[in-house]
Amino acid sequence: MTDGPTPVLAAELIRWSWVGRHLDDIRDNLVQHVELTGLALLFGLLLAFPLALAAVQWPRLYGPILGFTGVLFTIPSLALFILLIPFTGLQIQTALIGLTIYTLLILVRNIVEGLRGVDNDVREAAEAMGFTRARQLFQVELPLALPVIIAGVRIATVTTIGLVTVTALIGWGGLGQLFIEGFTLNFSTPIIIGIVLSALLAFTADLLLVGLQNRLTPWARSSGR
Amino acid sequence: MRRIRLGGAATAVAACLALLLAACGGGNDALEGGSQQNGGATVTVGSTNFSEQLILAQMYAAVLEKAGVKVDTRLNLGAREVVFPALEKGDIDLLPEYNGSVLSFLDPKATQTTSEEVNTALAPLLDAKGLVALDESPAEDKDGWAVTKETADKYGLAKISDLKGKASQLVVGGPPELKTRPAGLPGLKSVYGIEDFKEFKALDAGGPLTTSALNKGDIDVGRVFTTQGAIAANNWVLLEEDKPLEPAQNIVPIGRKDAMTDQVKQALNAISAKITTEELTKLNKLVDVDKEDPEKVANDWLTQQGLL
Amino acid sequence: MTVINEVFTWLTDPAQWSGPDGIPVRTLQHLYYSLLATAIAAAIALPIGVFIGHTGRGALFAVNLTNLGRAIPSLGIIILMFTLVGFGIVPVLVALIALAVPPIVTNSYIGIRSVDRDVREAAEGMGMRGRQVLWQVELPVAMPLIMAGIRTSAVQVVATATLAAFVGLGGLGRYLIDGLSQRDLAQVVGGAILVAVLSLLTELVLGRVQALVVSPGVAGRAADAAVRAKVEKAA
């Protein structure tokens, strides 16, 4: 019996001619990937902040919120996407809702930890100086919590970039489309390109966020994260 | 180059904000970015993952464009379970399909076998969903059973009924629904009298899993599609269907009634009339084995046939 | 909602709990892939993380590995391995191992690194040489963090082992894939619930193991350190 996949494929890992012919598609996939990631992070942040603030304001909420989000996180992403299909079809919402939920989980945790990590002395000083609650939050607590929050954004970003590929199974996928194409055609080239590009994308995003963190929190730089 | 249209990020953001504000599910029509263009309606051609589907979808898109229809393609969407609901919902307007498969998808207990019977049973089911099947093609991509040459020689297998008496020593692999569909394992039992196989492995429908498992010997008999390039490439033996069991599987475009204008119908029926099973098998080989582009293969063939 | 009813029915149906397609068998398969992958990952990752922590070389790599490891698309790896190697358990294992290695490396590194200088110097002062310091002092002290790393990896692996079904193997992911294919939403939901429960159980069980494995001295160390700090301040 013949062993392994058909001989044509075994001959080469990357057929560069294929890459050359498909630069347009690859670029489209990359753009879609970035868009999905960006939107998921945006909505994740928008939803995470209120939840985190609530958890900080009413500490009794924190346990349940953390527990609930923790459980959601263990649900296999594929299942979540499949379950959304009957409700939201193959529109971008299906992919975005699923992705946003996962970013949400990571971000809530980090925002809360960041805010809680602010020294009570600092908070009390601000209050003594007459800062309103809102001013305290935006001018004192958030800036101080920023390093931890951005660490959370870093994790969420990189995780989401990986998760976007799973949405290929429901018609989206960004670079994940290349995986499916390679799978059905028994062709390693698109798969390898997809893996390399999504890894590069994550690496770049991470670097940019570290740069952002350094610029936003110059005082934290010396303590070295 | 027809690309996968995503619509502007702005449209998507607006779409998602709308979603967040409204109850989930409603108002999908405004959200398919890129479909609403000024003037005539755009026809969105969809497809599942397989090379044959990609080729056919590209063909449809090409002739529709030539006929002056605005076309959008959303290919590689996934399995039929994911794609067909998209057609029902209106996310896509048109799919290259197989009459027998759609029938058993919509009616898992269906047992019709000839083209006429299948079409007759299918029409009302489609109608109820606002869909319509256009003219079918003489080309058929049926479901079949394949074994490696070694297995065929070892057990003396040339037709399906040869499996009788030997099945209990063989492992069979195919899509998960093979166990329950009338044309699947139950059909082998009732029509051919073939006993239970040694083991059933749930893989995919004629896809890479089945191909690999068959080649490596993890399964002995695999569910395949008769026009797959893999059959010839791997020197498999396609067991001859000597009793009527499998439904007809004519290639047929299935689309939403409101999108299938006369212009669209004419263009697509012209393709369906000219495709034959042999031609389709040849085109599949170009994509599956020679790794050529489905779009190029489709366009070349259309040009050859004078349709482009 | 009827879906909840259907799921409940599916989960409590005795037929579901017996036979080669039953929940017990699938769970065992799932655990098998997860355990094997995590064990191999630990065997690879622990030496690397500990070595980097002990010698201090390659620190940047170790610290950032976890975050970068998250970027590896498991789906892509499994598909690539399948395309190269074909049907079998290798694609799943490689993908899961790739997933599990980074957190163990990073945590082991940080664990060893975070051993108090005083403790290390005390050990050296007692006459211990490099390797003795490692085995008798650094590793036990770093145990909580090392175990945390293994725990994180294990839970992620259990949640991701659903991918095995994507390439035709078993495990709880079968319910997701088959449910999708048979258009049986109850099966998909049931499968998802089972995986979530298994992940949570993994987290809990390994938490217990961690409590057992970490020496009581180390566990009490945090309290001691606080006391010591206060005493020093007062003095």
Residue B3: the pLDDT is 39
pLDDT of B58 strictly over 80: yes
Q: Do C183 and B81 touch (CB under 8 A)?
A: yes
Q: Do C168 and B82 touch (CB under 8 A)?
A: no
Mutate to test the interface with B, among C182, C184, C185, C188 (most CBs of B within 10 A): C182
pLDDT of B45 strictly over 60: yes
* Beta partners for residue B255, in sequence order: B94, B132
- Tell me the three-class secondary structure of chain C, residue by residue: CHHHHHHHHHHHCHHHHCCCCCHHHHHHHHHHHHHHHHHHHHHHHHHHHHHHHHHCCCHHHHHHHHHHHCCCCHHHHHHHHHHHHCCCCHHHHHHHHHHHHHHHHHHHHHHHHCCCHHHHHHHHHCCCCHHHHHHHHHHHHHHHHHHHHHHHHHHHHHHHCCHHHHCCCCCCHHHHHHHHHCCCHHHHHHHHHHHHHHHHHHHHHHHHHHHHHCCHHHHCHHHHHHHHHHHHHHC
Q: Do A1 and B16 touch (CB under 8 A)?
A: no
Mean pLDDT of chain C, nearest integer:
84
The average pLDDT across B7-24 equals: 40
- CB of A34 within 8 Å of any CB in chain B? no
Q: What is the pLDDT along chain A (225 residues), one digit of tens a residue?
A: 444 444 444 457 888 888 888 888 899 999 999 999 999 999 999 999 888 888 888 888 878 887 787 777 777 887 888 777 777 766 788 889 889 988 888 898 888 888 887 878 888 888 888 878 777 777 788 888 888 888 889 989 988 998 899 888 877 888 998 998 889 888 899 999 999 999 999 989 988 998 988 887 777 654 444
A186 lies in some domain: yes
pLDDT of B27 strictly over 50: no
Rounded Cα–Cα distance for residues A117 and C59 (Å): 26
- CB of C155 within 8 Å of any CB in chain A? yes
CATH code at position A49: 1.10.3720.10
What percent of chain B stands above pLDDT 90? 55
Interface residues on C facing B, Cβ-Cβ cutoff 8 A: 82-83, 86-88, 167-168, 174, 177-178, 180-183
* Beta partners for residue B44, in sequence order: B72
**Chain B residues within 8 A of A30 when measuring between CB atoms:** none
Domains of chain C: residue spans and CATH? 22-234 (1.10.3720.10)
Which has more confidence, A138 or B218? B218
* Beta partners for residue B144, in sequence order: B224
How is chain B split into domains, by residue range? 41-140+250-304, 143-238
Residue B19: the pLDDT is 43
- CB of B78 within 8 Å of any CB in chain C? no
CB-closest option in B173, B176, B218 to C181? B176
Q: How far is A46 from chain C (nearest CA, A)?
A: 23
Query: What pLDDT, in 10s, does the model give residues C52-65?
Result: 888 878 888 877 78
Q: How far is B67 from chain C (nearest CA, A)?
A: 36
A10 lies in some domain: no
Q: How far is C199 from chain B (nearest CA, A)?
A: 25
- CB of B88 within 8 Å of any CB in chain C? no
Query: What pLDDT, in 10s, does the model give residues B113-160?
Result: 899 999 999 999 999 999 999 999 999 999 999 999 999 999 999 999
**Chain B residues within 8 A of C177 when measuring between CB atoms:** 176, 202
Neighbouring subunits of C (3+ Cβ pairs under 8 A): A, B
Question: Tell me, what's the ipTM?
Answer: 0.81
Residue with tokens 């993952």: B49
CATH class belonging to B143-238: alpha beta
pLDDT of B104 strictly over 60: yes
Q: Do A192 and C192 touch (CB under 8 A)?
A: no
Q: Are B159 and B194 in contact (CB under 8 A)?
A: no
Please give the structure tokens belonging to residue C102. 């980074």
- CB of B13 within 8 Å of any CB in chain C? no
- CB of C75 within 8 Å of any CB in chain A? yes
Mutate to test the interface with C, among A154, A183, A184, A197 (most CBs of C within 10 A): A183
A3 lies in some domain: no
Residue of B nearest to C84 (CA): B212
Mutate to test the interface with B, among C87, C90, C169, C184 (most CBs of B within 10 A): C87
- CB of B232 within 8 Å of any CB in chain C? no
* Of B4, B55, B1, the residue nearest B288 (C-alpha): B55
Residue B8: the pLDDT is 41
Residue of B nearest to A171 (CA): B77
pLDDT of B34 strictly over 80: no
Distance of CA C161 to the CA centre of its chain: 12
CB-closest option in B177, B180, B213 to C168? B213
pLDDT of C225 strictly over 60: no
Residue C227: the pLDDT is 54
Q: Are B207 and B178 in contact (CB under 8 A)?
A: no
Q: How far is B177 from chain C (nearest CA, A)?
A: 6
Rounded Cα–Cα distance for residues A46 and B272 (Å): 50
Q: Do C178 and B213 touch (CB under 8 A)?
A: no
CB-closest option in B81, B209, B212 to C181? B81
Q: Do A43 and B89 touch (CB under 8 A)?
A: no
Q: 3-class SS at A13?
A: coil
Residue of A nearest to C82 (CA): A183
* Beta partners for residue B238, in sequence order: B146
- CB of C185 within 8 Å of any CB in chain A? yes
Q: How far is C126 from chain A (nearest CA, A)?
A: 33
Of 3.40.50.280, 3.80.30.20, 3.40.190.10, 2.60.120.260, which CATH number belongs to B41-140+250-304?
Answer: 3.40.190.10
Query: What pLDDT, in 10s, does the model give residues C210-220?
Result: 888 777 776 66
pLDDT of B166 strictly over 50: yes
**Which H or E run contains A125?**
helix A120-128
Neighbouring subunits of B (3+ Cβ pairs under 8 A): A, C
Give exposure, A111-143, as e/b (b: 16+ Cβ within 10 Å): bbbbbbebeeeebeebeeeebeeeebbeebbbe
Q: How many domains does chain A have?
A: 1
Q: How far is C179 from chain B (nearest CA, A)?
A: 9
- CB of A192 within 8 Å of any CB in chain C? yes
The average pLDDT across C7-32 equals: 87
CA-to-CA dists, residue C214 to B92, C117, C149, angstroms = 58, 20, 14
pLDDT band (50, 70, 90) for residue B2: very low
Q: Name residues 219-238 of chain B within 8 A of A (Cβ).
A: 230, 233-235
* Containing structural domain, residue A121: 25-214
Q: Are B175 and B205 in contact (CB under 8 A)?
A: yes
Residue B12: the pLDDT is 41
Which has more confidence, C4 or C232? C4
Query: What pLDDT, in 10s, does the model give residues C140-183?
Result: 888 888 888 899 899 889 989 998 998 989 899 999 888 877 77
Q: Are B72 and B5 in contact (CB under 8 A)?
A: yes
Pairing mode, strands B143-148 and B131-133? unpaired
Q: Are B109 and B247 in contact (CB under 8 A)?
A: no
Q: How far is C175 from chain A (nearest CA, A)?
A: 10
Q: Do B208 and C82 touch (CB under 8 A)?
A: yes
* Of B208, B295, B307, B235, the residue nearest B266 (C-alpha): B307
- CB of A198 within 8 Å of any CB in chain C? yes
Which has more confidence, B93 or C139? B93
- CB of B28 within 8 Å of any CB in chain A? yes
Query: What pLDDT, in 10s, does the model give residues B221-250?
Result: 999 999 998 898 899 999 999 888 889 999
The average pLDDT across B26-54 equals: 63
pLDDT of C66 strictly over 50: yes
Rounded Cα–Cα distance for residues C124 and C132 (Å): 9
Pairing mode, strands B251-256 and B236-238? unpaired
Which has more confidence, B39 or B293? B293
pLDDT of C235 strictly over 50: no
What percent of chain B stands above pLDDT 70? 87
- CB of A79 within 8 Å of any CB in chain B? no
CB-closest option in C76, C179, C192 to A165? C76
